[in-house]
Amino acid sequence: MTAKLHEELAALCSRFFSGGLSEEEWALLQIHLAYCESCHQDFIKRNHI
């Protein structure tokens, strides 16, 4: 994964919490979170899971 792609997917994390994701973006984010531990941890912290 390129750094640019990672940054774009990480940005979806922020948009998730504002309710601004399309279904396709949400699907991409879920896949990314399954493989990227740092983004997954950030998502958990923000979502207070």
* pLDDT tens digits for range 1-49: 788 888 888 888 888 888 889 999 999 999 999 999 988 998 888 887 5
pTM: 0.78
Contact 34/41 with Cβ under 8 angstroms?
A: no
- When divided into structural domains, the chain yields a total of 1
Instruction: Report pLDDT for 35.
Output: 92
Domain that holds residue 33: 3-47
DSSP H helices, 18-47, are: 23-35, 37-47
- Give the per-residue pLDDT at 14: 81
